[in-house]
Amino acid sequence: MQYAVQRDIYASPKKRTTTHTMPYQILRRVLCLPLLSLCLLTTDGALAGDKEPGPDATPASAARAVILIIGDGMDEQQITIARNYLHGASGRLLLDQMPLRSNSQILATEDNMSGRPVYVSDSANTATSMATGAVTSRKRIATSAGSDQDLETIVELAAQNGYRTGVVTTSSVTDATPAAFATHISHRLCENPDNMEEVSYLDIFLAACPADMKANGGKGSIAEQLVESPLDVILGGGSKHFAPMAEGANVSVLELARQLGFEVVVSREELVQAGSSGRLLGLFSRSTMPVRLQGENGRSAEEPEASALNHLHRYLGEVTLPEPMNCEPNRAAAAMPSLRMMTETALNRLSKDNPKGFFLMVESASIDKQSHERKPCGSIGELQQLEEALASALNHAQSHPNTLVLVTADHSQAAQLVPFESHYAEYPIPVYTPGKMARIRTPEGSLLAVNYATNSFSHEEHTGASVPLFSNEEGLGRVPAYITQPELFTIMRDYLGL
**Catalytic residue positions?**
123
Q: Which of 269, 318, 323, 444 binds a second copy (CB under 8 A)?
A: 444
Interface with a second copy, residue 266, by CB under 8 A: no
Residue 172 phi, psi (nearest 5): -55, 140
Interface with a second copy, residue 23, by CB under 8 A: no
Q: Which of 65, 374, 451, 496 binds a second copy (CB under 8 A)?
A: 451
Residues in region 176-235 near a second copy by CB under 8 A: 204-206
Q: Which of 159, 294, 468, 492 binds a second copy (CB under 8 A)?
A: 468
Q: Which of 254, 257, 289, 448 binds a second copy (CB under 8 A)?
A: 448
Which 8-state DSSP code applies to residue 85? H
Specify the stretch interacting with a second copy by CB under 8 A; choose among 211-219, 264-272, 329-337, 476-484. 476-484
Closest to a second copy by CB, 16 vs 331, is 16
Interface with a second copy, residue 354, by CB under 8 A: no
Which 8-state DSSP code applies to residue 233? E
In whole angstroms, how close is the CB of 132 to a second copy at the nearest point? Answer: 15
CA–CA separation, 475 and 145 (whole Å): 31
Q: Which of 181, 470, 489, 495 binds a second copy (CB under 8 A)?
A: 470
Q: Which of 147, 216, 307, 455 binds a second copy (CB under 8 A)?
A: 455
CA–CA separation, 64 and 103 (whole Å): 24
In whole angstroms, how close is the CB of 193 to a second copy at the nearest point? Answer: 23
Interface with a second copy, residue 443, by CB under 8 A: no
CA–CA separation, 56 and 13 (whole Å): 38
Interface with a second copy, residue 439, by CB under 8 A: no
Q: Quick check: 317 and 430 in contact, CB under 8 A?
A: yes
Interface with a second copy, residue 312, by CB under 8 A: no
In whole angstroms, how close is the CB of 232 to a second copy at the nearest point? Answer: 29
Strands 100-105 and 319-320: unpaired
Residues in region 54-93 near a second copy by CB under 8 A: 57, 75-77, 79-81, 83-84, 88-90, 92
Residues in region 372-431 near a second copy by CB under 8 A: 412, 414, 416-420, 422-424, 426-431
Interface with a second copy, residue 38, by CB under 8 A: yes
Q: Quick check: 121 and 165 in contact, CB under 8 A?
A: no
Residue 482 phi, psi (nearest 5): -150, 135
CA–CA separation, 496 and 484 (whole Å): 20
In whole angstroms, how close is the CB of 237 to a second copy at the nearest point? Answer: 22
Closest to a second copy by CB, 37 vs 147, is 37
Other Cβ atoms within 10 Å of 113 Cβ, number: 10
Q: Is 203 helix (H, G, I), strand (E, B) or coil?
A: coil
Residue 104 phi, psi (nearest 5): -125, 120
Q: Quick check: 315 and 309 in contact, CB under 8 A?
A: no
In whole angstroms, how close is the CB of 280 to a second copy at the nearest point? Answer: 32
Element (H, E) at 67: strand 64-71
For residue 41, give Cα distances in angstroms to 38, 50, 59, 198, 335: 6, 10, 26, 52, 50
In whole angstroms, how close is the CB of 406 to a second copy at the nearest point? Answer: 14
In whole angstroms, how close is the CB of 57 to a second copy at the nearest point? Answer: 5
Interface with a second copy, residue 260, by CB under 8 A: no
H helices of 316-450, where? 339-351, 366-372, 376-399
* Binding-residue pattern over the window 137 to 176 for a second copy, x denoting contact by CB under 8 A: -x--------------------------------------
Interface with a second copy, residue 326, by CB under 8 A: no
Closest to a second copy by CB, 189 vs 257, is 189
Closest to a second copy by CB, 135 vs 234, is 135
Closest to a second copy by CB, 332 vs 481, is 481
Nearest C-alpha neighbor of 462 from the set 69, 70, 68, 75: 75
In whole angstroms, how close is the CB of 6 to a second copy at the nearest point? Answer: 16
Other Cβ atoms within 10 Å of 352 Cβ, number: 10
∠ Cα 237 343 76 (to 5°): 85
Interface with a second copy, residue 43, by CB under 8 A: yes
Interface with a second copy, residue 435, by CB under 8 A: yes
Residue 486 phi, psi (nearest 5): -60, -25
Nearest C-alpha neighbor of 66 from the set 474, 412, 484: 474
- Residue 83: CB partners within 8 Å, gap ≥ 6? 89, 91, 92, 93, 96
Nearest C-alpha neighbor of 6 from the set 351, 384, 408: 384
Closest to a second copy by CB, 11 vs 297, is 11
Number of residues that bind a second copy (CB under 8 A): 120
Q: Which of 42, 276, 307, 320 binds a second copy (CB under 8 A)?
A: 42
The one-letter amino acid at 125: N
Interface with a second copy, residue 308, by CB under 8 A: no
Residues in region 91-130 near a second copy by CB under 8 A: 92, 95-103, 105, 107, 116-120, 122
Strand partners, 492: none
For residue 27, give Cα distances in angstroms to 16, 41, 132, 181, 333: 19, 21, 42, 44, 52
